[in-house]
Amino acid sequence: MPRQIFVNLPVRDLNKSIAFFKKLGFSFNPQFTDDTATCMIISEDIYTMLLTHAKFSTFTPKTICDAKKNTEVLIALSCEDRSEVDQLVKKAVAAGGSTYNQPQDHGFMYAHGFQDLDGHIWEVFYMDPAHIQ
């Protein structure tokens, strides 16, 4: 069985976060969704658990970071091409998110990013497969 990854993120308003990510084209697994959490499907083996602060607190003894003021993690998400990078950022901004920098063109890689409603940073990028060894 392939290894899976579940990124857990605290959110202030679960329903608003679900609506935000639906506007970006993501779907959710109802089997792992209730009024405290949801499982957002990124790909066949990659998921993000969006958890209310109360639920998230049950998994850690540490204080939850305010992602609008501090950065604890950068979530990097690959895209099929440069156009998908631009479209995903555009959808995020239209859904209430924001950008934090300008697009970065490194020749072999094109990247941009957005902050979700809670300030978590999502870096979206396209890397030309011809440059990957």
Dihedral pair phi/psi, residue 45, rounded to 5°: -125, 10
Dihedral pair phi/psi, residue 30, rounded to 5°: -65, -20
**Residue 133 pLDDT more than 70?**
no
pLDDT tens track for 44-77: 999 999 999 999 999 999 999 999 999 989 999 9
61-67 LR contacts (CB < 8 Å, sep 24+): 64/10, 66/119, 67/115, 67/118, 67/119, 67/120, 67/121
Say what percent of the chain tops pLDDT 90: 92
Query: CA end-to-end span of the chain, whole Å?
Result: 25
pLDDT for res 122: 96
Q: Which residue type occupies 106?
A: H
pTM of this structure: 0.90
Domains in the chain (CATH in brackets) are 5-131 (3.10.180.10)
Where helices occur in the chain by DSSP H, the ranges are: 14-23, 53-57, 82-94
Where helices occur in 24-65 by DSSP H, the ranges are: 53-57
The helix-helix angle for 82-94 and 14-23 (nearest 10°) equals: 140
Say what percent of the chain tops pLDDT 70: 99
